[in-house]
Amino acid sequence: MRKWISYPHREGTISRQAHADFPAEAIYEREVGRSGFFGPATHLHHKHPPTGWSAWEGPLRPRAFDLNELPHGTPAPWDAPLVLHNAQCKLRIWRCDQAMTQLFRNADGDDLLFIHAGSGELFCDYGHLSYRDGDYILVPRSTSWRIEPASPTTMLMVETSNGAYQLPEKGLVGPHAIFDEAVLDVPAIDDAFKAQQTEDEWQVVIKRRGALSTVTYPYNPLDAIGWHGNLSVARVNWRDIRPLMSHRYHLPPSAHTTFVADGFVICTFVPRPIESDPGALKVPFYHNNDDYDEVIFYHAGDFFSRDNIKPGMLTFHPAGFTHGPHPKAFAKAMTDPKKFTDEVAVMIDARDALEQGPGLASVEWQGYVDSWKPKS
C-alpha cells in the first residue's frame, strides 16, 4: 500500500494538521469531504460555528426520532416498523417478547440484527446461538431462523437489499485490528438445537421483493445434523471491539467501520479514551459528508456530542449541510474536556438518499433542528 506525496493548497490562516492546533482567531474547523472520509477533503476555519443557524425552512434538516415510542410487540420480524430505507438499505426496529412460531427467511438480502435490549436463543439452519444486548448477529440471505427471547428483546434490523455484508479492509493496521475474526461466534449443532428437531408442523415465511410467501413442512426444517463451509450466521458483540485510537488526532467515523455493504457502511462507536494532546480536537469535528446520509442509533451510555439524546433514539442527518457537536458539548471540550467516552452507538452511512418509513413522523423530536441555535 503506497501513494504519491501530494501538496495540498493552503490559503489564509489555517492549522497545519486537520483536527488539531486551531488558530486562536478561528477555532471552528469544517471538513468538506467526498466519498465518506476516503476522498478529497478541505478543512476550512471559520470565525463562527458552522452549525450556528438562527432559522431553518424546507424539508432538508437534521432530524431525531425516539424509536422507543414506535408500536411495541409485533410478533414477527416482517411486521417490524420500517424506519429508513432506500434501494440498498432498510432499517427496522423490532420488539419481540415471545418465541417466534414461524421461521423467517429473507430472500431479498442479508440481515444484520443489533440487539439493543434483551437476551435469548436464536435457532437457524446452522444451529443454535445465544444472544444478549450489544450483539451483532449477521444472518446471510435466505437463511431460515427464529428467536426465543428469555427477556423482552429489541433489535435494530438492517437489511442490505440484494447485497451482502463483508468486513472492511483494515490496511496498515492489519487484519486483527478492531476485532480479530477469531472472536466471531457461529451457531452450534448442540443439544438445544437437536431438542427442537421435532416432527411437528412448521412454516417458513419467505420475503422476496417485499412480498411474503409461506411454506409449510410436516416437520421442523431446522433439522441439520452437521455442516462445513465458510458461510454461516455469525455473532460479534460491541464489547469485542477494540477501537482504533490516537491521543493526538480525532479519527474520522470511517475508522470505526464494522461492516461494509453495497452502498452503505455500518460503524460502531464504543467507549474509549478521549484525545489527551492539548491541541487535539476532543469531539466529532464539524463536517460536510456530502456523498452520504448519516444515521446514528444510540444504544447505551452518555452521548457526549449531543444534548437530550437517550438510548433507543435515532438521529438522521441527510447529505447537504454541515453537522457536528452541539454548542455546549463543543464549548466543554475546549475548556474542560472529558477523559473517556462511555457511549455505544451504531452509525449507518448510506451513499444514496434515505426515505422515512410510515409512522416515523409521529415520533420525531421537532425541536432537534433548533438545538444548535445560539442561545439568546
Do 99 and 226 have their domain in common? yes
Do 157 and 212 have their domain in common? yes
Q: How many domains does the chain have?
A: 2
Per-residue pLDDT, 345: 97
Q: What is the rounded distance in angstroms from the CA atom of residue 66 to the CA atom of residue 273? A: 28
Residue 13 domain-assigned (yes or no): no
Per-residue pLDDT, 376: 58
Backbone CA torsion sign across 250, 177, 260, 156? negative
The amino acid at 320: G
Per-residue pLDDT, 210: 93
Residues of the chain with pLDDT under 50: none
Q: CA–CA distance from 163 to each of 36, 112, 260, 356, 363 (Å)? A: 19, 12, 10, 21, 30
The residue from 250, 256, 299, 317 that is catalytic is 250
Do 144 and 194 have their domain in common? yes
Do 194 and 304 have their domain in common? no
pTM of the model: 0.94
Q: List for the chain the helix, strand, coil content (%; round to 5).
A: 10, 40, 50
Helix (H, G, I), strand (E, B) or coil at 218: coil
Per-residue pLDDT, 327: 80
Do 260 and 325 have their domain in common? yes
Q: Is position 135 annotated in a ligand binding site?
A: no
Residue 171 domain-assigned (yes or no): no
Do 250 and 197 have their domain in common? no
Which helix (H) or strand (E) segment holds residue 91: the answer is strand 89-96
Q: Is position 9 annotated in a ligand binding site?
A: no
Do 221 and 256 have their domain in common? no
Strands 313-317, 63-66: pairing kind: antiparallel
Residue 84 domain-assigned (yes or no): no
Q: Which three cell numbers, joined as nine digits, stand for 316? A: 438522521
Q: Is position 277 annotated in a ligand binding site?
A: no
Residue 364 domain-assigned (yes or no): yes
Q: What is the largest CA-CA distance in the chain?
A: 76
Residue 23 domain-assigned (yes or no): no
Among 213, 238, 263, where does a domain finish? 238
To the query of whether residue 250 is one of the catalytic residues in this protein, the response is: yes
Q: CA–CA distance from 364 to each of 9, 177, 356, 369, 376 (Å)? A: 42, 37, 11, 11, 25
Measure the N-to-C terminal CA separation of the chain; round to a whole number of Å. 51
Range of the domain at 330: 28-65+243-370
